[in-house]
Every structure is written in C-alpha cells, then in structure tokens.
Amino acid sequence: MSTRGLTPVVCSLTKNRRTTFERIDKFLSKDYFVDVNLYGRLYPAQAPLVQILHWNATASSADIAADEIDADIDSASITSADDHHHGGPEWKVKVPSRDYFRPYKLGDPFGPTWSTHWFIVTIDIPREWIGREVQLLWDSGSEAMIWTAGQTEPLQAFSGGVDSQMRNDFILSKCVKESELKRELWIEVACNDLFGAGAGGMINPPDPKKVFSVRKAEVAVFDREVFDLFTDFEILYGMAKHLPETDPRNYEAMYLANHIINLMKTQPEFPIKELRKLIQKHFSQKNGDYPFKIFALGHCHIDSAWLWQYGETIRKCGRSWITMIRLMEEYPDYRFVASSAQQFLWVKQYYPVIYEQIKKFVKNGQFILVGGTWVEMDGNLPSGEAFIRQFLYGQKFFEEEFGQRCDVFWLPDTFGYSAQLPQIMRLAGIKYFLTQKLSWSLVNKFPHHNFLWRGIDGSEVLVHFPPGDSYGMSLTVEDTLKTVENHKDKGRVHQSVLLYGYGDGGGGPTPAMIERGRRMKDIDGLPKVSLNESITDFFHALEEEQHNLNRWSGELYLELHNGTYTTQAEIKRKNRVVQNLFRDVEFLDVILFAFFDIPPVDRSSQWHDLLLQQFHDVLPGSSIGLVNQDANRILSGLIETLNDECLAALAYLVSPNDFQKLMFNSSGAKIAYTSPFNASLETFTSYLLPPYSLSSGATFLRQSQYTTKIQKEKNSFLMENNFVRVVLDEFGQITSMVLKSNDSKSREDRECIEEGGLGNNLALYDDVPLFWDAWDCMDYHLEARVTAKTLVDSKIVDDATVVRYSLSKDCVVTQHIRLAPDAPVVLVECKVNWNERHKFLKMETDVSISSENKRGIYEIQHGWVERPVHRNTSWDWAKFEVCCQRWADFSEHGFGLAVINTGSHGFSIRENRMSLSMLRAPKAPDSEADMGVHGINYAIMAHWGTFQEAGVVQQAIALNDTWNAAVSEPLRKEVTLIKDHSLDEEVGKLNGLITFFELSNPAVVLDALKSFEKVKERAVVARFYEAYGGTALCRVSTALPVIAMKECNILEDLSGEKLTVKDKTFRIQLKPFEIKTFVLFLSTDIPHKLI
C-alpha cells in the first residue's frame, strides 16, 4: 500500500492498543495539543471583527413599538403572564435603527435569563483570503440567530452553552470574492442555552439572574481539505475502537490511522488529498450483497415547552429549521424529519420567510413531515376525544398547508402509550408508529425493536423502536454499530432507523454528522448507511418482513416517569374540566345549528390551545414553573370562555324566566339533581335528568325520594342510605362499608372493607427519586409510609361528615364526606393545604377481596385494561404506579369496589389495597410544584355484579359532569347572548324536557357531537364508542332533524354508502372498545324550535 512514494503501512513496534488509541484521540482532540494536532489545522488564519454593536431588546422594548402580530395567531402562542397585554412573546419587537446600538467589547456581561439582545457585527475579510473559504465564528454561550442586515431574513442558528451540542460557525463564503470582503450581519441572542438556564443542573429551576457574554467573535479561514481528512479519521478511529477485537478490520484501521499520523508528523507538507487516498482505499472495501441497512434520518426533537416557555420554543423552531434548510441546500441527499403542526404554525406566523423555504423542501422530499398530530402529546393522560383531535387538527393542518397527510405517528419522548392508540392511529389513516422511550424502562427491557402493536379493539400498527435507543445520535461508527448490536430482531428484519442530530432543545444535525454518514454508505465491517431515503421508505421495507414479527397486545408501559400521572395536579384537573366543557359547548353548537340554523363556531383555535397544553412535558407536569403558570392561565382562560359560550347558547334556548332553572346534560349518564337536605326528615328529592338532554325546569323530570341517615356515635359517624351503610372514624376513615342486599334472595349484606383495614385513609409517603424529580416515583417510596394523623375537628354539617386533621405541619386536610342519595357511593370533597417537600399523598382503601387470580381494571381512553394486582414477575411489580382515566375497579364474582376521580390519574391496586394518588411535592424543575391549597374530589362505590352491570362507567361520567360541577354557580351571572340571532321572548323557546339522543344499549356512549369539518352541506358529526368490552348493537333515536347518515373516520373522510334515516332512528353495531364516527345529514327544513 503506497502512493507517490509514501511508505507502506508497517509498524516497527508492537502496538499497545491503549496508547495508540490515546494517540489518535489526542490527534483529533478539540482540547488537547491543538497547536500540533489535526483539529488545530481546521482554521489556519483568524481575524477580529471590525466592530460589534449591542442593543438590549428586553430593556428597550418599552421605548420601541412592538411588531404588529396578525390577529389570527393562536392565543397559545402567547407565552408569558403579561403577554396578553402586548400581543406576543417578549422577543417579538421591532429592532430599531443603528442609532440605538452601542459598542460592545468581548467579554462584557449581558442578561439576565430569558432576555433578548441584538448585535450588529461588521466584517472586513482580509484581502489575502480571496479564493478561500471563510467562516464567522461566534460563541455567546447561548442560542442565537444570524440575520441579514436590518433583521430582514434569518440565515442560520448558533448554539452555545452546551459543549456537546455546539454550533458556532457560519459560512460567509466558500470561495471569497472581492465583492464579499465587507459585510454586515445582525445576530439575535437569546439568554438561554439549548436546555434553558437551570441553576446548577439541567433540570433544576432556572437561574433568573444568569448573565452571558460573547466569548468569541471573529472571521476565520476554514480548511475544507483538513475537515475532510478529519472526518475520514473519525470513521477510521471509530472502526479501530468499536469493531470487535476479533475483526481484522479493527486492527487494519488502527494501524492505518497510526501510520497516517506518522506520515503527517514526518512529511508535514505532503498533500492531504494523497493521505486521504490511503483511507479511501480502506473504505472502498464494500459490504456483501445482504448487509444490515440503516436508514439515517436527521432529526431535532424540539419540546414545545419544557425548561423554557412556549415563546422560546417558537425561536427554537425558527433557529433549528433555517439551519436544516442550509444543510439541505448543501447536501441534496440529506433527509430531515419534523413533527407537530403547532410548531409549523408558529414558524408560519413568526418566520414566514423560513416557512416558504420549508414548503419548497417538503415538496422535493428533503423536509419530511411526520406525526400527524397537533403536538407530540402525552400518551396516557388526555381523553380519547382529545387524542382524536390531536390527529384531526394535525392531519388537517398538514393537508391544507403542504398537500399531504402523515403516514407515520411520531412520539419518541412520551412517558408510556395507551392501548387505545393503535385504533385511533388507524382511524386517522396512519399505520406506522415510531418511538424509543421504552428503552428508558428501569426494570425490564422491552423484547422487540420491531413489532405489530395490537390495541384493545384489535387494531394493529407496525412499530419501530430505533435500536440506538435515542432520537439524538451523532451518526458515528459507534452509533451505527450500537444500532446493529442492540437490535432485538436480528434474523427477522434487516434494517432499522438511526435518528441523528441535537435534540430536546432543538439544534439538529451538523455538517460533520452528514459527512460521516456519507462515508459510511458502504464500508466492509459496518452496516450500510442510507442518507437519502425517507421514514416511509423504511417502513415499506420493514413491511415486507413484517410476517416475521411478533405481536404485542395492550399498553406500552414505561417503567419510569410514573410520577407524571400526579405532578401538577391543578393542570390535570383543569385539563379534565376543559375536555368536558368542549363536549358541552360543541353539543350546544350542534343544537343551535340543527334547530335554528345558527352556524357552528369555529373552535379549532380553542382546541389548539388545549392540545398544546397536552404536550408531553406540560400536562405531565415536568416543566419549569413559568411553563406551568402559562398552562394554568391558558386552561383557566378556556374554562371561562367555554363556560360563557355554553351560557350564551342555553340563554338562547330557554326563556329568561326559566334560565335560572334550566338543567343541561350532554353526557352519557343520568344526572341526579337533588333538593336541599331536609335534616328533620333525613330525605332528599332527586330529579333525574336523562343523558343528552335539556330541561327548562325540574318539574319536567322524574322525581324520587331518598332517605339518608347520618349521626355521630362517640368517636365515629354512621352514614346510611337505601344502598349502603358506612361507619367513619373521627378522621373520616371508613372502618366499615356494608353493601346492602336489599332483600335479595341470592345474596346477603356484604362488608366491603377488609377486617382491620380502612377506606378513605390518606397516607403520606417519602418521595425522593433517583434523578428525575417531577417525573419519577420509585418503588422504594412504598417502604416509607406514614398514616398518623392529628385531629383538628370532626362534626356533622347538614348531610355531610366534616373532618379536619393534619398528616404533618405541611399537610392539612379538610374533608366533606357524604353519601350519594341514590347509589352505594361515598362522595368525598377533599381540600388539602399542601406545602410538603418530596412527599407523596395517596388515598387508600383496603377491600375485602382476596387478590388471588384477580386483576385490577382501569379505565383508559374509550375503554379499559386489566393489570395485575400481584408481584409475581418483574413485569408485574414494575407497575407499582399506573395511569387511569376516571375510574378503577377491583372485583370478584358478583361483587366489587370502584374508585372514581375527577382529575387525578395515578393509581395502583396491590393485593387488596386500592390507592388513588393525589399530590406530589417535587422541587425540580419547578420548585413550587403543587404547593398551595387543592380541591380534590373522588368517590368510593361498592357494587353487586360486574362494574358494567353496576353502572360504574355511568357513575364516573356523572361525577365528572362539568356542567354541574363547574358551571352551576356561573349560571347566576349575566350572560352575553348570541349576536345577530334573536328570537321573540317565547317563540321557539324550550318549555319542557327534550332528550336529543336516546341509546338503547348502555355499553354505547355518544362521546362527541360536533360540527362537520368539511362544511359543504348541512351535516354534523356524532362519535360513539363501546365502553364495556363486548359487541354492542344499539338503536339510536334522536330529536335532531336527521334524514341520512354515513360512516367516516376521525378525519371525517366519508366511507361506505349513505343510509336514509327514517323517523330519526338508526342502528349501529360496535365491536369491543370500537370507536365509530358518523356524519348525520340534517333536513334543510329548519325547525326554528326545539319542541
């Protein structure tokens, strides 16, 4: 092996691998011996900038008029507590003329955290550099964006502050011309780095007073030949270091790298291109005909909020994506994937120049759209309808803006995956799914990287977990070999995905990563690397081998981050309220449209706001305090707005005299309105409002009388109704709960509480995780349990037992405990004054059921799943804390107990103890997480038979009925009526009860009634699901003027034939847990009245 007189590759000495590797490593090092190594030759000449000017945009923004922001910008784009007052994020200001700028000297501090600073740099390239490649080098220890002079066009991002993810170079010219010697650029600097500004640690709360400085600002000659040799060396060194020692290619690479170092040291003037030929000859030895293939895709995961607010995410998207566009221009074979319609909308609104360039590269196939959702949402906590709207609005945006829908669901960083997602994906036209988060599981390693995932209804999607166990690799030799070695489906499939590029805070791939990928296209000893194929190309290749794959049925449970089911309880509670209010207001939209031809309100922007709060670091509670403040504010605003709009619609439908008496129910459960408790007679009068109905007063409803007994006996309280008898101790803990047989010949009264056990027992646990504070609760927290309480007061108030006690000086509890008048249900209104540190509060109930051969049942989106209550295997005990929606049930044949919540999600059933997680107290990344007073409502329901027969589903729906829980008080305030649609005072007004839908099968739930997105004719959309877990036939009768119907998917694409509806009645059939959506076509004869 010789070229133009170069000596062959020989080693006169026996080589020590460690010292040889160290030698190669130092030859490439950015930190050691840069005066004599290869890295030090990348920039052979530097020159200072002529001038740097500085302007503090944040401090000066009051003096400079803000840019006008379009009225159609979503309110979710508003990003700080005072942004509602000035219309946009703080950085969105008009940069003034140069007169406002002042000279800046390198090293001068500026800040503080989250502020924005602009710099004008004046460049004068030395004339002797003409013909050479010249770059601008900049390091402000922060994120920054380069603009053309006058802030007219964004060019590229800089990123500093995180040494492993630096991007501090910008190409001024690949070959400098005379006309390019003088130039002015503007640089927008954000006072945060890619991971925010944590005080003393990445996930710590931000340091609000952090200061920054420009450490480097110069122009430099870039030696492209040295860079190419440097990249060759990286591959060569990677092969020497990471190929097995049994592989001859390992030693060949080591010897060759060592030999070239010797040549460069002994013949420093020898042409680099001749040295590269030696390496290229080594690389020219190709793989076989059927090697493992890696689809390498550029990626920059951008959390929509996390350690920074939404406003900074907007800039992260702009910075990251314009940098990716520069790479696409440079490398036509480069492919980049990006998800989240919300982020594309932000770029469209705030960076229209970048957005138009994105459209160009989407069209040519380099900028690849994935996901199909509004954001990369949490995979456990949102409701089923919220999941559906993620896909509806995400796919709609991509189709309207880019003329295409996504065929790959992309959710690499959420904390577990609901078993209902496969069905929802398929209903959104998606059959492929990519994630990698399960690689984080602490206890068990997931057994597959490629598999068919089957949901609870039987729907299947093809899934890939990149075996590199990361969405932000660097495309090194080590990364490619790890991808192959980790691959759990060897022999079944012969390809996988490798995602490369800086991520979480954005950033994306670098030129060096792409260059490494190009060199590894086909080298003997390494897997083949393909840069120019799409994620769909990968799944098509995988699909050809899917007959070799295993199936996984049910949820994908992450054995980590299970504290996120509970952290930030107030955000979770408000999220539940908003989800239910959307059901209410959209139902009313349809009523106004169907009966009075009032056009439905476009609620897409409101939905965008909610869907953004369901991002996988917001709703789970794993963001900094500023983000949580934003989320609480936005959710509160939605509650107020949707509530007001419900009131306006109802005011239109009933006469003013009936407005204070009206009763509305858009849910699938009967709602019991009760008269005030008559203490002397111990009676209630209950008025039952049917599902999906509206009444102008209680007199039109079926009435029932119920007796409830409540009395104090020494240190205990007895509460009793027709269905259950409950004994409470002085702390409100249930010492006995007897479910009455009610003279049934087949059963006797049944004690529900285990002997010696308690119900409604609040326990305090020590809660110090290994690292991820807001995210994790570890299994060992169960070993540090405290239940001792100090009584403050206990008494009877009307129909409730009221107790007040403390579990510690920082945890004071007040509970109002009463019985539902018409059911075997204990209702608990719990107020907790919570100021703990690293504690976990749970409500526990010990059930008189043996756990042998039993499984807990938990509601998930549009269905339920079973989970073990024992600890037989590591897979069982790893689920010590799980997620549910509104209820969990633990039953034996003929009897059971359910716990229903109104906003909590963390739960567990272990042996015979049911535990509802209520509050946590992590200190990072939000030091004030969950501090303060919380209202947490829940219910404990005993039942005969199965939970289906007992109506647990309906009780949970009723307890969560937002209209009665959240809106009963606002009904008394002034209401703004619907504009431009007035009726005479009594004409067309409701005087009575109208039931808009009647369903013959209680297993079928009408979960959404909404306007038709494709508004071309008079039609609305109704979505049903099967809730019990069996095939269901259902007759649907409606008061709406429905004349025909047609099935559609959740994107509202019509399918099948259009069926005529006679007498406003139709039949539907659903498989277990199936979701079905129908377009209901309405008569063009407008009723102009309800009944």
Q: Please write the tens of the pLDDT for every residue from 894-918.
A: 999 999 999 999 999 999 999 999 9
Mean pLDDT of 423-429: 98
* Residues 368, 349: Cα–Cα separation, whole Å: 20
Q: 553: closest CA among 452, 633, 466, 621?
A: 452
Do 235 and 338 sit in the same domain of this protein? Answer: no
Please determine, for residue 829, whether its predicted confidence score (pLDDT) is greater than 80: yes
Please determine, for residue 466, whether its predicted confidence score (pLDDT) is greater than 90: yes
Please determine, for residue 533, whether its predicted confidence score (pLDDT) is greater than 50: yes
Tell me what percent of the residues of the chain surpass a pLDDT of 90. 85
Residue 358 lies in a domain: yes
Please determine, for residue 59, whether its predicted confidence score (pLDDT) is greater than 90: no
Do 328 and 269 sit in the same domain of this protein? Answer: no
- Say what the pTM is: 0.95
> What are the pLDDT digits (tens) for 37-51?
999 999 999 999 999
Res 821: pLDDT: 87
Do 318 and 280 sit in the same domain of this protein? Answer: no
SS3 170: strand
Q: Which of 500, 527, 560 is the last residue of a domain?
A: 560
Q: 346: closest CA among 682, 678, 151, 89?
A: 89
Other Cβ atoms less than 10 A from the Cβ of 594: the count is 26
Residue 547 lies in a domain: yes
Side by side, the strands of the sheet bearing 993-995 are 663-665, 693-695, 993-995
Enclosing H/E stretch for 857 = strand 855-860
Please determine, for residue 351, whether its predicted confidence score (pLDDT) is greater than 90: yes
Residue 1091 lies in a domain: yes
Do 799 and 947 sit in the same domain of this protein? Answer: yes
Q: How confident is the model at residue 793 (pLDDT cuts 50, 70, 90)?
A: very high
Do 826 and 880 sit in the same domain of this protein? Answer: yes
Do 515 and 369 sit in the same domain of this protein? Answer: yes
Do 426 and 277 sit in the same domain of this protein? Answer: no
Q: 866: closest CA among 889, 847, 849?
A: 889
Res 682: pLDDT: 72
- CA–centroid distance for 597 within its chain: 37
Residue 706 lies in a domain: no
Mean pLDDT of 226-239: 97
Residue 735 lies in a domain: no
Please determine, for residue 404, whether its predicted confidence score (pLDDT) is greater than 90: yes
Can the peptide bond before residue 112 be classed as cis, meaning omega within 30 degrees of 0? yes
* Residues 940, 160: Cα–Cα separation, whole Å: 53
Instruction: Point out the least confidently predicted range of 570-574, 662-666, 860-864.
Output: 662-666
Q: Cα-atom radius of gyration of the chain, to the nearest Å?
A: 32
Please determine, for residue 3, whether its predicted confidence score (pLDDT) is greater than 70: no
Do 1061 and 936 sit in the same domain of this protein? Answer: no
Please determine, for residue 1062, whether its predicted confidence score (pLDDT) is greater than 60: yes
In SS3 terms, 477-508 reads as: HHHHHHHHHHCCCECCECEEEEEECECEECCE
Res 981: pLDDT: 47
Mean pLDDT of 365-385: 98
Please determine, for residue 970, whether its predicted confidence score (pLDDT) is greater than 90: no
Domain count for the chain, please give it. Answer: 4
Other Cβ atoms less than 10 A from the Cβ of 641: the count is 16
- With tokens 């509104």, the residue in question is 886
In this structure, are residues 572 and 381 in contact, taking their beta carbons and an 8 Å threshold?
yes
Please determine, for residue 236, whether its predicted confidence score (pLDDT) is greater than 60: yes
* Alpha-carbon distances, residue 606 vs 389, 400, 737, 962, 1090 (angstroms): 11, 19, 44, 17, 28
> What are the pLDDT digits (tens) for 179-191?
999 999 999 999 9
357-373: string of b/e by CB count within 10 Å (b at 16+)?
bbeebbeeebbbbbbbb
Structure tokens at 1067: 């039949």
SS3 623: coil
For helices 352-363 and 310-330, angle between their N-to-C axes, nearest 10 degrees: 50
* Residues 539, 762: Cα–Cα separation, whole Å: 49
Other Cβ atoms less than 10 A from the Cβ of 452: the count is 17
**Number of residues assigned to the chain:** 1091
* DSSP code of residue 762: E
Question: Which residues lie below 8 Å from residue 648, measured CB to CB, with a gap of 6+?
Answer: 975, 976, 977, 978
> What are the pLDDT digits (tens) for 117-143?
999 999 999 999 999 999 999 999 999
- CA–centroid distance for 487 within its chain: 27
Residue 1065 lies in a domain: yes
For helices 352-363 and 341-350, angle between their N-to-C axes, nearest 10 degrees: 130
Do 952 and 1078 sit in the same domain of this protein? Answer: no
Q: How confident is the model at residue 969 (pLDDT cuts 50, 70, 90)?
A: very low
Do 939 and 867 sit in the same domain of this protein? Answer: yes
- With tokens 């219910």, the residue in question is 939
Res 965: pLDDT: 42
- With tokens 């739960």, the residue in question is 907
Q: Which of 536, 560, 584 is the last residue of a domain?
A: 560
Q: 257: closest CA among 44, 37, 42, 43?
A: 37
CB-side exposure of 82: number of CA atoms within 13 Å? 2
Q: Which of 505, 529, 560 is the last residue of a domain?
A: 560
Among positive and negative, which fits the CA dihedral 938, 942, 946, 948?
Answer: negative
Res 962: pLDDT: 56
Q: 897: closest CA among 707, 709, 760?
A: 760
Q: What is the CATH number of the domain that holds 911?
A: 2.70.98.30
Catalytic, out of 139, 413, 457, 609: 413
* Alpha-carbon distances, residue 567 vs 572, 810, 920, 934, 1061 (angstroms): 8, 17, 6, 13, 48
Do 246 and 362 sit in the same domain of this protein? Answer: no
Residue 140 lies in a domain: no
Res 90: pLDDT: 83
Please determine, for residue 165, whether its predicted confidence score (pLDDT) is greater than 60: yes
For helices 511-519 and 224-242, angle between their N-to-C axes, nearest 10 degrees: 60
Catalytic status, residue 67: no
> What are the pLDDT digits (tens) for 63-113?
443 343 343 433 333 333 333 333 468 888 888 889 999 999 999 999 999
Res 650: pLDDT: 93
Res 318: pLDDT: 98
Q: What is the CATH number of the domain that holds 372?
A: 3.20.110.10
* Residues 789, 729: Cα–Cα separation, whole Å: 12
28-42: string of b/e by CB count within 10 Å (b at 16+)?
eeeeeeeeebbbebb
Q: How confident is the model at residue 1074 (pLDDT cuts 50, 70, 90)?
A: very high
Res 9: pLDDT: 55
Res 657: pLDDT: 84
Q: 389: closest CA among 345, 424, 420, 413?
A: 424
Q: What is the CATH number of the domain that holds 1068?
A: 2.60.40.2220
Mean pLDDT of 8-32: 82
* DSSP code of residue 1091: -
Please determine, for residue 493, whether its predicted confidence score (pLDDT) is greater than 90: yes
- The residues that bridge with 830 in the sheet, in sequence order, are 815, 936
Res 488: pLDDT: 97
- With tokens 């018409």, the residue in question is 822
In SS3 terms, 956-1011 reads as: HHHHCCHHHHHCCCHHHCCCCCCCCCCCCCCCCCECCEEECEEECCCCEEEEEEEE
Residue 914 lies in a domain: yes
Do 256 and 326 sit in the same domain of this protein? Answer: no
Tell me what percent of the residues of the chain surpass a pLDDT of 70. 93
* Alpha-carbon distances, residue 212 vs 91, 109, 165, 205, 875 (angstroms): 17, 5, 17, 18, 47
Res 93: pLDDT: 84
Please determine, for residue 706, whether its predicted confidence score (pLDDT) is greater than 90: no
Q: How confident is the model at residue 746 (pLDDT cuts 50, 70, 90)?
A: confident
Mean pLDDT of 167-172: 98
Here the contacts of 537-541 (C-beta below 8 Å, separation 24 or greater) are 537/295, 538/295, 538/464, 538/495, 538/496, 538/497, 539/407, 539/408, 539/432, 539/462, 539/464, 541/293, 541/295, 541/495
Which structural domain, as residue segments, surrounds residue 278?
A: 17-37+224-285
Amino acid (one-letter) located at 895: F
In this structure, are residues 752 and 897 in contact, taking their beta carbons and an 8 Å threshold?
yes
